[in-house]
Amino acid sequence: MPPATPTATAPATRTVVEDLLRRIGEGDPDRIAELYADGADWKLDWPESEHGRAATPWIRHRSSRADAAAHYRTLAEHHVPGAADTRIERILVDGPDAVVLCEIRQTARATGRAYRSRCALHLTVENGLVTRHHVYEDSLAVAQAFDGA
């Protein structure tokens, strides 16, 4: 059997990405994590310094399905329930890769400050699971919302 071509894998990629986004919206960390492969390449666009890390512990590199569940659990713990909204603007798919362009709206539980963060999420899907999860967001907006000063 010949290797999959980008056009052959694009519909499968889109299906997994849309399922992932739906599960994220539903907020069940364990169901979200089911879509991640163990050993996934998970990175976030965040300054390498430790400044602000105590206030934003979900922002760190991860690699396992358990890590993925912990990410979504910790993220929920640090934000005001019911005060979140994510606006998906576009999902671009090229073979096994997808880029989700969106705006995240959250409220920091510790400070009560609302914030908006423009975001691009680069996902790679292989064999029905997410193997790459790279987030590029407005980390300054997030840091300022959690800044206790």
Quick check: is 54 in a domain? yes
In-domain check, residue 22: yes
Q: pLDDT digits over 38-74, tens only? A: 999 998 876 655 545 677 788 777 889 999 999 999 9
pLDDT at residue 4 above 60?
no
CB 132 within 8 A of CB 123: yes
Domain with residue 66: its CATH number is: 3.10.450.50
Q: How far is CA 9 from the centre of its chain?
A: 22
In this prediction, residues 94-106 reach a mean pLDDT of: 96
Total tally of structural domains belonging to the chain = 1
* Residue 99 counted as domain residue: yes
120, 124, 119, 121: which is closest to 97 by C-alpha?
A: 124
Question: Looking at the domain assignment, is residue 1 inside a domain?
Answer: no
Q: Is position 61 within any domain?
A: yes
- Predicted confidence at residue 48, as pLDDT, reads 59
Residue 50 domain flag: yes
pTM (2 decimals)? 0.87
User: Which domain range does residue 13 map to?
Assistant: 6-146
- Rounded Cα–Cα distance for residues 74 and 103 (Å): 20
Closest by Cα among 147, 27, 22 to 75: 27
